[in-house]
Structure 1
Amino acid sequence: MQVNADLHIHSKYSKATSPKMDIPTLASESMKKGIQLVASGDCLHPQWLSDIRTLKEENGVFRLKAGTNVKKGASFVLTTEIEDINQVHHLLIIPSISKAEELYEFMKPHSKDIDSNGRPNVRLEGYEIADAAISAGALIGPAHAFTPWTAMYAYHNSLKECYGERHKHIYFLELGLSADTSYADRIAELKCLTYLSNSDAHSPYVNKLAREFNRFEMEDISFDELKMAIIREKGRKPVLNVGMPPEEGKYNESACIRCFTHYTIRESVMKSWKCSCGGTIKKGVKDRVNELASFDEPQYPDHRPPYIHIIPLSEIIAKALGVGPNTKGVQSAWNALIDQYGSEVAVLIDADIKNSEVDARVISAILAFREGKIKVNPGGGGQYGSVELPGSVASKPQKMNKKNCDPQTSLCNFDE
């Protein structure tokens, strides 16, 4: 069977997250999206783990019990994101509640906020966190590995530099919103790793949840099957990565975090990474990959699945109609498509939608994404890039939401 999975989100107990990041909402919204397996996120947080305990556990995944208001919901797998002493973020996928408790007890003496923040800061090196994860039977890998604020490649030049000898037990790397397979496969040391494309969602709704996801070939939905799929054992494997065009990510190009002026790497160095406005120029993922690259062009290993670029359906509809994403027209078209095809993922990448009765402009816009006919103006400095439809499809241009243009003021103030 093929399983769509988003393996990195956060709960309502993390900073800057929606209070609706609760289990029933996540379960129901995941199914609308077309996701069968979703990360719990934040499973070391005592209150969130208590909430997870109310679910039915079977083979290392968790489901809503019969009798809940949600008739059909996604399964959950235990995950957490941890920030180490060097500000590097690590994603852990954990086999059971008892192992989550074991990791909590190990981390607690090294963390001041493990009881208050779903994404705890832990005063340990990457290799020490990896040691604990591996001992617990968990999978661990770098989260949003190229992000310039809190990623492995922001502070290290290699897996070994981050994880020491435990780098031999790192089986996956999370790409993040500002990178895709074509970026990562220019780096030789990553050729054996599985790439994960996850949403890192702070909101449960379908414009954030599973905006990036993975499709795995598995026998059933369980922790062991997921682990085999990530490690690529016994025919289990990833068969598709789906995510935003990397240029749309907030850190794709080097840019000022105050005024968002973009700079080449040469210009940034000449200006000592200080913008004319006085703000800091933050190195973009594209420039960082160029520094790390072993190859001028990506060298894809045989096991690497295709990567499909897409954005949330509501955003495509809004661009096609030339209206805001929260308008009644967008909601009406979205509902009609979901009613007809079952889920957002089906509409975006799987279903034959050419004969749909929804506004032809919407169908043409979705097909333009499928066919790679869009243009992306790159993001940088904490500001998302913008997507343009082909001239024959586009309606009037939309202004970027003002919240996307706020200066970056905190390490917590990003949704990667």
Structure 2
Amino acid sequence: MLVNADLHVHSCFSMASSKDMVINNIAPQAKLKGLQLVGTGDGFHNGWLDIIEESTTYSGDGIYSKADCDFILTSEVEGLNRIHHLFILPNIEIAREISKKLISKNINSDGRARVKMSGAELLELGHEYGCLVGPAHAFTPWTGMYKSFDSIYDCYGGLKADFVELGLSADTDMADTIKELKDFPFLTNSDAHSPWPHRIGREFNQIDMDDVSFSSLKKAFEKKTIKANYGLIANLGKYHMTACTKCYKFVDPLLAKEKKMKCECKGTIKKGVDFRIKEIADWDLPHHPDHRPPYIHLMPLAEIISMVYETGVTTKTVQNIWHDLIKKLGNEIEILLKINLDEIAKIDENIKKAIESFRNKGLHIVPGGGGKYGEISLDKPLEEREVLKKEKLVSLDDF
């Protein structure tokens, strides 16, 4: 069976997460999005585990169910060097046992545990309890594994992680220029901090599983039966390009190094995922192994509606149109990728044109960087961000 799974989200207990990020909100929104399996996030926070137990029915083999949505225990952990690791756990009992072994001052104050443990120590601990463990958003400049290590094996002490999560600013074509990653399954997850469909499921995996269970998910990773990765267009990610985190100007990476990662505005420059991957790549073009599934670019429907009507994604205008489309045509994933354009036109001709342009890769895009997401436009080129290169401003075409 094919299962749409978003395996990395956060709960209301995580820093900067919405108070609405609770099971009773996540489950119905996930269904509207088109997801069947969602990670709980924050699986080492005992208060969140209590809520999961109170809000769901245990279906067995690691699955907790609510309103036609299945949940699996997951948690992000910040280890040494501020590197983030993703755990997928067999059940709540094991989550509570591991939480006792995590030496952390914030284990029950922040959903994301911060520990003084290396990647190797965390991987060994997870494997001791039968968990699946790998780097979260592996390439991001603040907390990704590759910001500190040139090799995944150095991060995990020569041990093999179970997967690599790409993050919002990278895709398969980028990651498969790195030879050492050819044997790893890639995950694309939302890292959502709010339950609304422009966040949850903005990246997800379509996985061939025997059934919805922890054992079946583990087998799918081992047998590499992920059938598709769905994710944002990578250059829309907020760390795709090297840029200043204060003024958001793009900066030539070589100039950034020369300036010791300090912008002329006194802000901090963050190395972009695009450049970081080029630094450690073995090939200029991707070498996809036989098991690698297609990477299908996705964009939240609410953001497409917002683009068309030039108003925010949470406004009544956008939300009313979004709910009308969902009510009449089905879940968001089906509308974005499969529903006949003529059916969409019957509801909103402008949205039909925008989705057609999205499907045909016809949207105008200015990349993201420095912590600011990229921008999209349907029918007119956007004003490009300034690029600092030596003593002059240049266009992105000069990169």
TM-score, structure 2 normalization: 0.92
Instruction: Say if 2:340 is the partner of 1:352.
Output: yes
Aligned partner of 1:36: which letter? Answer: Q
Structure 2 match to 1:410? none
Instruction: Say if 2:170 is the partner of 1:179.
Output: yes
Contact 1:171 1:230 survives alignment (8 Å): yes
Which secondary structure state, in structure 1, belongs to the residue aligned with residue 139 of structure 2?
A: coil
Structure 2 match to 1:164? 157
Shift of 1:354: 2.8
Contact 1:375 1:390 survives alignment (8 Å): yes
Structural mapping, 1:99-248, within 5 Å: 99-107=94-102, 110-167=103-160, 170-232=161-223, 237-248=225-236
Shift of 1:390: 4.2
Distance 2:210 2:48 in 1: 29
Structure 2: runs of 5 or more not aligned? 386-399
Contact 1:309 1:369 survives alignment (8 Å): no
Distance 2:364 2:229 in 1: 20
Of all paired residues, the percent bearing the same amino acid is 43
Structure 1 match to 2:393? none
The answer to which of 365-374 and 351-360 deviates more is: 351-360
Distance 1:151 1:184 in 2: 13
Spell out, residue by residue over 1:96-145, the C-alpha distance to the aligned partner (whole angstroms, 9 max, x if none). 112112211211xx211112111010111110000000011000000000
Output the aligned Cα RMSD. 1.8
Of 266, 273, 284, the residue aligned with 1:285 is 273
Structure 2 match to 1:23? 23
Structure 2 match to 1:411? none
Structure 1 match to 2:46? 46
Which secondary structure state, in structure 2, belongs to the residue aligned with residue 346 of structure 1?
A: helix
Shift of 1:43: 1.0
Which secondary structure state, in structure 2, belongs to the residue aligned with residue 251 of structure 1?
A: coil
Which secondary structure state, in structure 2, belongs to the residue aligned with residue 228 of structure 1?
A: helix
Distance 2:213 2:337 in 1: 25
Distance 1:322 1:359 in 2: 15
Contact 1:321 1:362 survives alignment (8 Å): no
Instruction: Say if 2:369 is the partner of 1:374.
Output: no
Structure 2 match to 1:413? none
Shift of 1:353: 3.2
Of 315, 318, 323, the residue aligned with 2:303 is 315
Structure 2 match to 1:329? 317
Which secondary structure state, in structure 1, belongs to the residue aligned with residue 205 of structure 2?
A: strand
Aligned partner of 2:100: which letter? Answer: E
Instruction: Say if 2:294 is the partner of 1:301.
Output: no
Contact 1:30 1:73 survives alignment (8 Å): no
Contact 1:199 1:211 survives alignment (8 Å): yes
Distance 1:380 1:147 in 2: 11
Aligned partner of 2:57: which letter? Answer: K
Structure 2 match to 1:414? none
Structure 1: runs of 5 or more not aligned? 65-71, 401-416
Which secondary structure state, in structure 2, belongs to the residue aligned with residue 247 of structure 1?
A: helix
Shift of 1:171: 2.3
The answer to which of 32-41 and 345-354 deviates more is: 345-354
Shift of 1:332: 2.8
Aligned partner of 2:163: which letter? Answer: F
TM-score, structure 1 normalization: 0.88
Distance 2:314 2:8 in 1: 25
Spell out, residue by residue over 1:150-181, the C-alpha distance to the aligned partner (whole angstroms, 9 max, x if none). 110011111111001322xx121011011011
Contact 1:173 1:193 survives alignment (8 Å): yes
Structure 2 match to 1:63? 65
Shift of 1:269: 2.0
Distance 2:276 2:37 in 1: 32
Relative distance call for 1:31 and 1:192 in structure 2 (3 A) is: same
The answer to which of 282-291 and 299-308 deviates more is: 299-308
Shift of 1:335: 1.7
Distance 1:314 1:328 in 2: 11
Shift of 1:328: 3.4
Spell out, residue by residue over 1:205-252, the C-alpha distance to the aligned partner (whole angstroms, 9 max, x if none). 11111111111111221111111122226xxx1111111111111111
Aligned partner of 1:2: which letter? Answer: L
Q: How many residues in Structure 1 have an aligned counterpart in Structure 2?
A: 382
Aligned partner of 1:61: which letter? Answer: I
Distance 2:279 2:285 in 1: 13
Which secondary structure state, in structure 2, belongs to the residue aligned with residue 165 of structure 1?
A: coil
Structure 1 match to 2:392? none
Structure 1 match to 2:388? none
Contact 1:245 1:376 survives alignment (8 Å): no
Shift of 1:336: 2.1
Distance 1:281 1:387 in 2: 23
Shift of 1:302: 1.3
Distance 1:47 1:330 in 2: 34
Structure 2 match to 1:88? 83
Which secondary structure state, in structure 2, belongs to the residue aligned with residue 373 of structure 1?
A: coil
Structure 1 match to 2:245? 257
Structure 2 match to 1:388? 377
Aligned partner of 2:143: which letter? Answer: T
Shift of 1:18: 0.6
